[in-house]
């Protein structure tokens, strides 16, 4: 089957939440509850961009819904696809930003049942969704 062109991939946004945008020491991982095929896998909070939303608006909405927090966005974590996106299988492309909580305390309100703040040496203690591994590996050296 031919690879789907990058411009028809469904857009997803993700937040690489860290404690500090310039000197991060920990990264937040969230454990999915659904669908059954992905449940138990750890990921970046986020989700699909809705029609009429910018990517940034979608990310603020998703972290509000999923974690109950407001965030400030930092740099994008640049991936290999056009626009710095990351391929998630052959259906989705995810844009990931570093982000910092500006209000509230993250809680697994929706779509997740557990959250963990991970230091660099703990990043591989959990089963990340496979497509997230290269993203985690790019973030790892940023954590001190």
Ligand X SMILES: Nc1nc2c([nH]c(=O)n2[C@H]2C[C@H](O)[C@@H](COP(=O)(O)OP(=O)(O)OP(=O)(O)O)O2)c(=O)[nH]1
Residues in the site for ligand X, rule: CB under 6 A? 12, 14, 38, 43-44, 46-48, 88, 92, 94, 111, 129, 131-132
User: Shortest gap between Cβ of 100 and ligand X (angstroms)?
Assistant: 18
Which residue's Cβ lies closest to ligand X? 47
CB closer to ligand X out of 10 and 23: 10
Distance CA 41, CA 10 (A): 20
User: Shortest gap between Cβ of 61 and ligand X (angstroms)?
Assistant: 9
CB closer to ligand X out of 58 and 143: 58
3 state SS of 135: helix
3 state SS of 133: helix
User: Shortest gap between Cβ of 92 and ligand X (angstroms)?
Assistant: 5
Distance CA 99, CA 44 (A): 11
CB closer to ligand X out of 28 and 143: 28
Output the six-digit token pair for 80: 């290999």
C-alpha distances in Å from residue 136, one per residue of 8, 45, 79: 25, 13, 11
CB closer to ligand X out of 94 and 101: 94
User: Shortest gap between Cβ of 94 and ligand X (angstroms)?
Assistant: 6
Distance CA 18, CA 10 (A): 26
């Amino acid at each position: 089957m031919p690879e789907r062109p990058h411009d028809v991939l469904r857009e997803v946004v993700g937040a690489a939440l860290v404690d500090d945008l310039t000197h991060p020491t920990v990264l937040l991982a969230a454990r999915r509850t659904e669908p059954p095929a992905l449940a138990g896998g750890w990921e970046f909070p986020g989700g699909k961009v809705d029609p009429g939303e910018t990517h940034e608006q979608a990310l603020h909405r998703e972290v509000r819904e999923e974690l109950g927090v407001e965030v400030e966005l930092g740099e994008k974590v640049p991936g290999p696809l056009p626009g710095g996106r990351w391929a998630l299988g052959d259906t989705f492309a995810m844009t990931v930003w570093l982000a910092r909580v500006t209000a509230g305390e993250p809680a697994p309100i929706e779509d997740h049942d557990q959250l963990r703040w991970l230091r660099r040496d703990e990043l591989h203690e959990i089963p990340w969704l496979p497509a997230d591994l290269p993203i985690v590996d790019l973030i790892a050296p940023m954590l001190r």
